[in-house]
A and B are shown apart, each in its own frame.
Chain A
């Protein structure tokens, strides 16, 4: 079975500071990993995905994530936070032979201080 754990339900950073959102996964098989973002009153938007082609994955809006098998982690980073990055971020995992079923983490709300 697959699962993800997001460390920190709320992260607050200053505008221009580094953003680091933590995600650890559990999977009995090589996983597919995703980061999604949700703005208020909207659905989820894909930021990036890992499917084993490269361990460092670049996504939209300047975000990237690094897959570390030894640490079972897939942390999301952005070098310089912008006010528009304030949103809720979800790490998610899928696996072979489960179709399109995705298991989501509990989410991390990112706040940006001016």
Chain B
């Protein structure tokens, strides 16, 4: 069974640009969650999508947005990039029930110059 796939693995952007990250969940998983990981703030929850609807949202500004497609694949978009957006962005998928563990991809490392 293929794991969670995130593309691209590495990305370099400049301030003010926008970026789109992609996540393909494990087959059959309907929930996709996104996390931002930085040395200073650790792992922070961005949002969760379930059946194409945003089900949970963390405390990030509106520049961070996402969507989920009918095949459960998800994209995350960050607009007007800031230096502080440099981070490892992790995607996780699960069946969607609350006690189910999440399966993580290897992440996209985003660097802002």
A99, B106: Cβ atoms closer than 8 Å: no
A36 — which chain B residues lie within 8 A by C-beta? 104
Contact string against B for A residues 29-55, beta-carbon threshold 8 Å, 1 for contact and 0 otherwise: 000101010000111111001010000
Q: Total number of A-B contacts with CB less than 8 angstroms?
A: 67
Contact string against A for B residues 33-47, beta-carbon threshold 8 Å, 1 for contact and 0 otherwise: 101000000110100
B107 — which chain A residues lie within 8 A by C-beta? 42-43
CB-CB under 8 A for A98 and B98, given A44-B90, A104-B42, A106-B42: yes
A100, B56: Cβ atoms closer than 8 Å: yes
What is the number of residues of chain A that contact chain B, defined by CB distance less than 8 Å?
26
DSSP majority for the A interface? loop
What is the number of residues of chain B that contact chain A, defined by CB distance less than 8 Å?
26
Chain A's closest residue to B101 (CB) is A46
Most buried by A among B31, B42, B99, B105: B99
CB-CB under 8 A for A41 and B42, given A94-B98, A98-B98: no
A101, B104: Cβ atoms closer than 8 Å: no
Report if A61 contacts B (CB, 8 A).
Answer: no
B98, A90: Cβ atoms closer than 8 Å: no
Q: Give 6 new A-B contacts, CB below 8 A, not counting A44-B90, A100-B96.
A: A46-B101, A49-B99, A95-B98, A99-B56, A105-B42, A107-B42
Q: What residues of chain A have their CB less than 8 Å away from a CB belonging to chain B?
A: 32, 34, 36, 41-46, 49, 51, 90, 94-107
A42 — which chain B residues lie within 8 A by C-beta? 106-107
A43 — which chain B residues lie within 8 A by C-beta? 4, 6, 90, 92, 104-107
A94 — which chain B residues lie within 8 A by C-beta? 98-99
Give the CA-CA distance A34 to B100 in the complex, in Å.
10
Give the CA-CA distance A94 to B55 in the complex, in Å.
14
Minimal beta-carbon separation of B15 from chain A (angstroms): 25
